[in-house]
Amino acid sequence: MHETMNRLIKLQSVDYQLKAINEKMGNLPETVLSFEVRIQEEEEKKIQDGNRISQNKAIVIKSEGKIMDYRTKLERYQEQLYLVTTNREYDALTAEIDYAKKEISDAENIILEAEEESKNLEESIQESETLVRSLTDDLDKAKKDLDKTIQETRDEKERLEAERLEITKKVPRNILNVYERVRKARRGVAVVPIIRDACGGCNNRVIPQKRVDIYKRNKIVTCDICGRFIYSEEGCLTVDK
């Protein structure tokens, strides 16, 4: 077997094992991240709701002040009503009274709306707090699972990574670049056996000249269609897929 080809076969085997380890993690890393993002969003919502409640409190205070002012004015207008001597004065004063009553009524409505909104916001904050508690529980569980899996696979992963490094050191740079490129493009499979004269990756027939080279095992051969390295399995290391 061609020396570099043999190393590529071993490299592919190591990469399959590393891939299997990563798959053991499943979607735990993404799950952890998504819980963290959701908790953060919910916390931000709570802050916004709280800010809105503070704004409503200020609105209520301002409106109450307004109501007091207009009530004082109203009392004064009503006293003045007894003193008017002309129709014009009377009309002007009743217009002021109507205006003051309307301002008071508007301010009362604003207070009601602000209080109603704040009540809903307080309920929403309570719901957020319940949600955050349950999300935090889920996050803790996912983190624990992830840590456990990382712990369990750490030694094996380190061993495989060290092995990978040793192999890649001995593979010519240009060949390694092709390997990495094809592996990325072809779902992690860059080295395949020839199976019934066809590429074990894409199943296309290998041209006769290349077939000869593959069976002789003295050259590095790649598939014309999918670009994968093709080797002849007989008498050499078998690769679990």
Lay out the site mask for Zn ion across 29-68 (x = CB under 5 A, - = otherwise).
----------------------------------------
Which of 59, 104, 223, 229: binder of Zn ion (CB under 5 A)? 223
- The yes or no reply on residue 110 touching Zn ion (CB under 5 A) is no
Q: In what order do the strands lie in the sheet with 221-222?
A: 198-199, 191-195, 229-231, 221-222
- CA-CA distance, 93 to 78, in Å (whole number)? 9
- The yes or no reply on residue 225 touching Zn ion (CB under 5 A) is yes
- The yes or no reply on residue 198 touching Zn ion (CB under 5 A) is no
Sign of CA dihedral 206, 209, 211, 213: negative
Binding range to Zn ion, per CB under 5 A, among 21-29, 75-83, 180-188, 200-208: 200-208
- CA-CA distance, 32 to 48, in Å (whole number)? 25
Q: Which is nearer to Zn ion, 104 or 214 (CB)?
A: 214
- The yes or no reply on residue 200 touching Zn ion (CB under 5 A) is no
Number of residues in contact with Zn ion under rule CB under 5 A: 6
Which of 121, 178, 226, 229: binder of Zn ion (CB under 5 A)? 226
Quote the tokens at residue 36.
């963290």
Binding range to Zn ion, per CB under 5 A, among 120-128, 154-162, 191-199, 205-213: 191-199
- The yes or no reply on residue 194 touching Zn ion (CB under 5 A) is no
Smallest gap, in angstroms, from Cβ of residue 203 to Zn ion?
A: 7
Smallest gap, in angstroms, from Cβ of residue 222 to Zn ion?
A: 8
Q: How far is CA 98 from CA 88, 91, 167, in A?
A: 15, 10, 92
Burial degree of 191 (CB within 10 A; 0-12, 13-18, 19+): buried
Q: Give one DSSP letter per residue of 204-221, joined into a string.
A: PBPPHHHHHHHHHT-S-E
Pairing of strands 229-231, 191-195: parallel
- The yes or no reply on residue 199 touching Zn ion (CB under 5 A) is yes
Binding range to Zn ion, per CB under 5 A, among 64-72, 85-93, 146-154, 195-203: 195-203
C-beta separation of 217 from 1 below 8 A: yes
Which positions touch Zn ion (CB under 5 A)? 199, 201-202, 223, 225-226
